[in-house]
A and B are shown apart, each in its own frame.
Chain A
Amino acid sequence: DAGITQSPRHKVTETGTPVTLRCHQTENHRYMYWYRQDPGHGLRLIHYSYGVKDTDKGEVSDGYSVSRSKTEDFLLTLESATSSQTSVYFCAISAMAGVGSYNEQFFGPGTRLTVL
Chain B
Amino acid sequence: NAGVTQTPKFQVLKTGQSMTLQCAQDMNHNSMYWYRQDPGMGLRLIYYSASEGTTDKGEVPNGYNVSRLNKREFSLRLESAAPSQTSVYFCASILLDEQYFGPGTRLTVT
Real binding pair: no
